[in-house]
Structure 1
């Protein structure tokens, strides 16, 4: 099972204040299903409701049919029981970020509004030669530049290095004018690294004695994921980030992982970050889908109206936000 479907991963976001972790299990003669999500309070005018969302990253329900022929029936029965669960627990809306490598959005179109959001990038880790050859010429030249400048990469896990990463991460967020959500507090990082070395690891790029770029990597059963990163001006000049990700990809392949998922750009845009990631695999684009479901239209409408009265500054660009009351 991939890291995003682990309860201990979701628990980090519960402790971050993003909602309470809940797990809905379903089993029938056709197979079984598992669904981990965060359940959040929603204030209404006269009562409190709830909504659910997948934790930061990717997720959604995972289905284990007895055979491919059983999948359709398994999904249908699962969703029927889940609707009962949502009604019983006063859940008015559901938001899913599906997993691009698993395509677990498929066959759910009859039960949710499933929408293509943007592309993400994945590197196939079959062998080192393929990893390097599938990079763009510019990216390969930057790896060579970093090596020529004596940049080295180390996999580390000491408290001292984690502390340094956190400092660099905040500096990087300042430089990028990141939104408040991405300023994870120190307790978040403590909880992240307490997942253990079998689930998260830190890679640092060095120039002489200085760390000039760094990234945290999430480890699943078959996949590794680019999670949080930090860099310096010096690291950018030395092309340290290019070497850093190349070395992570090599390490992943050597340790039996199938894919290194880099994710997408900022807020889904095909921006400089997306172009940087896509340079590592010219044909590595994966489609990322989201799912939306209003379980109680009357309550959803009432809550939207309640929040509009509290925040009347709604703009046209906000109308696509889901759920609308959290814009």
Structure 2
């Protein structure tokens, strides 16, 4: 089975199963003469239960995936998506799966095949660098970003590519500095052990790009790649070394590697509410931002309402706009 991006690989979903409390990785597929829909997700027990019944809900693995049509006969796309939804609805009812939250993939736009079946939450935008032109440095980077890259070179910042994970401890140290500076949530933290393990699971699909100055690691990024796509997945920096512009050189070198290895896009991710981070990333690309849309669906409305009422009665709901409500 060929999938177009690393976030759809079965080993990706399985590896991040433990990111969700009590989570269990599963796959559901519709495959017939019309085509093939593939969907991997994490099933989690709901935090409250009612009348002794056990209910679960679904979230897609860390990253951006969701159901995706891997192949389809011409003119059958809409019908294939409808059949998938019908079959998956039955599956959810049989498995007592109450609700579903999907982080759809913004560059593959797989949500478009299923937009009739979900409500969507706007999570802002994500950015990418188009690597298909003649010269990404001159065509995509702003003049200020080009200056930063040249500044790093002038500052004698050197680049190291690590394909085996030997520098994981240095990345982890820098990531810890970054996390503390930016108050990164626990969900987005990674142990040194998990970083080492990821290099076994995703061998040949990830590497570190490290910026080094006078023997010290000052900036690092964990780069993912599969098919046409690369991802500036995790970034780690020493705040005291910002003036050396190591992070700008890391992004430039990621682009260089991508072009040399036939990649078409380098995804930089979003920035949340951090306007400075958004401006920093935006200066590396002329490509239009991509919409980050999350899919929401209640699969068992009566049970959903009962669970929400139970949560309200037992603990109260701190975040009324949260989905699913019984986790708010």
Instruction: Please give the range of the TM-score, normalised by the shorter of the 2 chains.
Output: over 0.9
2:323, 2:88 → 1: CA distance? 20
Structure 1: gaps (5+ residues): none
1:290, 1:175 → 2: CA distance? 27
1:174 aligns with 2:180: yes
Among 270, 276, 297, the alignment partner of 1:272 is 276
**Structure 1 residue 160, shift from structure 2 partner:** 4.1
CA contact 2:20–2:44 (8 Å) conserved in 1: no
**Structure 1 residue 195, shift from structure 2 partner:** 2.1
**Structure 1 residue 236, shift from structure 2 partner:** 1.1
1:45 aligns with 2:46: no
**Structure 1 residue 286, shift from structure 2 partner:** 1.2
| Cα shift readout 1:287-323 (whole Å, capped 9, x = no counterpart) | 1211100001111111112222333262xxx222211
CA contact 2:43–2:58 (8 Å) conserved in 1: yes
1:113, 1:191 → 2: CA distance? 36
Among 5, 9, 13, the alignment partner of 2:12 is 9
Residues 151, 234 of structure 1: alpha-carbon distance in 2 compared, 3 angstrom cutoff: farther
The alignment's TM-score, normalised by the length of structure 1, stands at: 0.93
Q: Tell me the equivalent position of 2:300.
A: 296
Q: Tell me the equivalent position of 2:61.
A: 55
Aligned length: 322
2:221, 2:38 → 1: CA distance? 30
Q: Tell me the equivalent position of 1:29.
A: 33
Q: Tell me the equivalent position of 1:201.
A: 207
Structure 2: gaps (5+ residues): none
RMSD of aligned Cα (Å): 1.7
Q: Tell me the equivalent position of 2:286.
A: 282
Deviation larger for 42-51 or 140-149: 42-51
CA contact 1:108–1:114 (8 Å) conserved in 2: no
1:240 aligns with 2:246: yes
1:88 aligns with 2:89: no
**Structure 1 residue 116, shift from structure 2 partner:** 3.5
CA contact 1:215–1:229 (8 Å) conserved in 2: yes
1:308 aligns with 2:309: no
**Structure 1 residue 158, shift from structure 2 partner:** 4.7
| Cα shift readout 1:30-60 (whole Å, capped 9, x = no counterpart) | 1111001111111313322111111111001
The alignment's TM-score, normalised by the length of structure 2, stands at: 0.93
CA contact 1:12–1:191 (8 Å) conserved in 2: no
**Structure 1 residue 283, shift from structure 2 partner:** 2.9
2:234, 2:105 → 1: CA distance? 18
Among 110, 117, 121, the alignment partner of 1:111 is 117
Q: Tell me the equivalent position of 1:323.
A: 324
